[in-house]
Amino acid sequence: MAHQAAPTHDPRVAADPFADLGELPERVNIAQFLPRLAAREPAKLAVRVAKGPPDALKFDDISYAELDRRSDAIAGGLVRRGLQRGDRVCVFVKPGIDLIAVTFGLLKAAAVPVLIDPGMGREALLSCVERMQPKAFVGIPRTHALRKLFRKRFRTVQLTLTVGKRLFWGGPTLDRLLAEHDDRPVLADTLASDEAAILFTSGSTGPAKGVVYTHGMFHAQVLALKRLYAFGADETDAACFPLFALFSPALEMTCVFPELDPSKPASCDPARVVAAIKRTSATSTFGSPAIWRRVVPWCLEHGVELPTLRRVLIAGAPVPPSLVEGFHRVLAPNSDVHTPYGATESLPVSSIAGREIIEVAAERSAAGAGTCVGRPAPGIDLRIIRVTDQPIAKWSDELELSAGEIGEITVLGPVVTHQYKFEPRHTAAAKLDHAGRVRHRIGDLGYLDADGRLWFLGRKSHRLETANGMLPTVGVEGIFNTHPRVHRSALVGVGPAGGERPYLWVEPTPDEFPANASAEQRFANELREHAGKHPAASVVEGFLFHRGFPVDVRHNAKIHRDNLKREAEARLA
């Protein structure tokens, strides 16, 4: 078992997880990969942005040489206007060429891009901006209008850049910076420990928080991803999750942006996603389950295969084995689906291939074992600790649980972030000192099996505290999710902690929503019969039906269970 093997986890003889990825440089700027590749292969396409209907698809393209020049122009122009090393810069730019160029320009200048999900809602977004105290702001016109409308929230902003047409505010436009470029390269000399970016959590399980990444952490992520998935320099990535596109230069890939709204991935047009993959002969793609729940059925219905894809990465929420099986029917025989597990604070943590899911894990998941998310990624020291909602200052061996015991998942390694910016209370709740290094508490429940695989059982904050003890959510849901009429389910507790009664919300598949109370009862009886042979399912006291679960913006897949709990309590009152 991975967490008991003395060479990995005994602190007296431990192999250093930081050494597992090879030698990590003391000085590194994650933007360095862009000029290196531009010098070696200047004509190679860096970014392609799909636009138009599938039968008349066109692309906006940029080469690595031009992307390098464009990012230099942005870095140089902003530095001349007062941008300094370490300045935080809020970035609100649509996925595409400008987003990649702006981000790399800021990294080259040793500024710190702050990336906040614009779909989280106006008030939450404004709160995030205000907490970050940015010196600069880069955005499309409507975000600048928002900045002018809520001046107090943006009071620290001294420098602006408009991507698009400037209206009634000052500052240069992106076009002006590009026009005045003098071709001087920019690449700040940064330490691995220097802040590189602040990426916000989705806010799906608590307030959105700004996660501090260093240049060294990004570098370690690149190494881990290469080790896990063997990305090649000849590859093209269909970026269905925009932030992953920022890794493309480091992975030497061409990045393709299919035409979809990143704030509403579950509403994507599958034909447009498929057209972008096929027209560019994409070899890799990364997206949330919500996207592939639309794309895979569309492919099967239309007899479409995706033979160029070598790997599909799916993350953001538990991935049902049925989705993996469906994908295998449209991929080439030697290709596979992979489900990396992690969090904004640490990625990747673990990974499992689709064929292992089908051969080893699917039957156990259907019986209530949870979702298997594979073995720890390179450089990750993963341990399960006893469940507590209290902060833990220092590691103690007494915290660690044995194989098979359910607890909170914790990780240590070079990709693990150390703090939330300006959030000492949240940092203290999620981080602990482990022999001088930072161990992160992911906030998820799980356990390690006898073969060292990690099984995910849901968020710690979503657990039920019943009269019979703690009850995680995902294991029970996995039993009912295999019913053919169930799209997904969510276990919630009705009543106070310590006496919560388990109820299961069910979102039926299209056209299967029960028409009346009698139909609801028949559906509930079907579910009872379906799960009857699994003891874990017997805890459910009743069933509630929902036409569409509230979900997170980023992946459209993480269920807002707190909302469903309140709705259940109101309905059953």
Mean per-residue pLDDT for 480-486?
Answer: 96
pLDDT classification of 262: cutoffs 50, 70, 90: confident
More confident residue, 10 or 127: 127
Q: What is the pLDDT of residues 509-526, one digit of tens each?
A: 999 999 999 999 999 999
Mean per-residue pLDDT for 341-351?
Answer: 97
Is 316 contained in some domain?
no
Count the domains in the chain: 2
**SS3 state of residue 517:** helix
pLDDT classification of 141: cutoffs 50, 70, 90: very high
Burial of 510: CB neighbours in 10 Å, binned 0-12, 13-18, 19+: exposed
Q: What pLDDT does 195 receive?
A: 98
Please, what sign has the CA dihedral across residues 372, 373, 379, 384? negative
Lowest mean pLDDT among 9-13, 59-63, 68-72, 110-114: 9-13
Q: What pLDDT does 289 receive?
A: 93
Note every long-range contact of 397-405, with CB atoms under 8 Å and residues 24 or more positions apart, other chains counting.
397/11, 400/3, 401/447, 402/4, 403/1, 403/3, 403/4, 403/447, 403/448, 403/449, 403/450, 404/447, 404/448, 404/449, 404/450, 405/447
Of 190, 220, 253, which residue constitutes the final position of a domain?
190
Is 563 contained in some domain?
yes
Is 288 contained in some domain?
no
Mean per-residue pLDDT for 38-58?
Answer: 97
Alpha-carbon distance values, 372 to 342, 358, 536 (Å):
13, 11, 17
Mean per-residue pLDDT for 51-66?
Answer: 97
Mean per-residue pLDDT for 47-61?
Answer: 97
Closest CA to 228 of 73, 373, 443, 438: 373
pTM of the model: 0.94
Mean per-residue pLDDT for 519-540?
Answer: 93
Looking at every residue in the chain, the average pLDDT score rounds to 94
Mean per-residue pLDDT for 358-368?
Answer: 95
Q: What pLDDT does 3 receive?
A: 34
Q: Does residue 43 carry a pLDDT above 60?
A: yes
Rg for the chain, CA atoms, rounded: 24
- Cα–Cα dist 208/201, whole Å: 5
Is 530 contained in some domain?
yes
Quote the domain boundaries for residue 484: 463-572
Buried b (16+ CB within 10 A) or exposed e, 157-181: bebbbbbbebeeeebbbbeebeeee
pLDDT classification of 19: cutoffs 50, 70, 90: confident
More confident residue, 119 or 163: 163
Mean per-residue pLDDT for 558-565?
Answer: 93
Is 509 contained in some domain?
yes
Phi and psi of 238, rounded to 5°?
-90, 105
CATH of the domain at 476: 3.30.300.30
- Cα–Cα dist 420/430, whole Å: 9
DSSP state of 15: P
Q: Does residue 14 carry a pLDDT above 50?
A: no
Q: Does residue 555 carry a pLDDT above 80?
A: no
Q: How many helices (H) and strands (E) does the chain have?
A: 18, 26
Q: Does residue 2 carry a pLDDT above 60?
A: no
Q: What is the pLDDT of residues 379-417, one digit of tens each?
A: 999 999 999 999 999 999 999 999 999 999 999 999 999
CATH of the domain at 142: 3.40.50.980
For the sheet with 112-115, list strands across it: 159-162, 136-139, 88-92, 112-115, 195-200, 210-214
**SS3 state of residue 216:** helix
To the nearest whole percent, how much of the chain has pLDDT over 90?
88
Q: Does residue 5 carry a pLDDT above 50?
A: no
To the nearest whole percent, how much of the chain has pLDDT over 70?
97
Is 393 contained in some domain?
no
Closest CA to 373 of 461, 444, 286: 444
Is 411 contained in some domain?
no
Q: What pLDDT does 12 receive?
A: 30
Of 190, 216, 234, which residue constitutes the final position of a domain?
190
Alpha-carbon distance values, 345 to 44, 217, 443 (Å):
32, 10, 11
pLDDT classification of 15: cutoffs 50, 70, 90: low
Q: What is the pLDDT of residues 171-209, one digit of tens each?
A: 999 999 999 988 899 999 999 999 999 999 987 777 899
Q: What pLDDT does 181 receive?
A: 87
Q: What pLDDT does 8 receive?
A: 37
Is 371 contained in some domain?
no
Mean per-residue pLDDT for 437-441?
Answer: 98
**SS3 state of residue 415:** coil
Q: Does residue 323 carry a pLDDT above 80?
A: yes
- Cα–Cα dist 318/290, whole Å: 11
More confident residue, 113 or 265: 113
Return the half-sphere exposure (C-beta side, CA atoms, 13 A cut-off) of residue 216. 18
Mean per-residue pLDDT for 289-309?
Answer: 97
Of 190, 221, 248, which residue constitutes the final position of a domain?
190
Q: What is the pLDDT of residues 209-249, one digit of tens each?
A: 999 999 999 999 999 999 999 999 999 999 999 888 999 99
Q: What is the pLDDT of residues 265-278, one digit of tens each?
A: 889 999 999 999 99
Closest CA to 281 of 235, 313, 239: 235
More confident residue, 12 or 50: 50
Buried b (16+ CB within 10 A) or exposed e, 31-59: bbbbbbbbeeeeebbbbbbbeeebeebeb
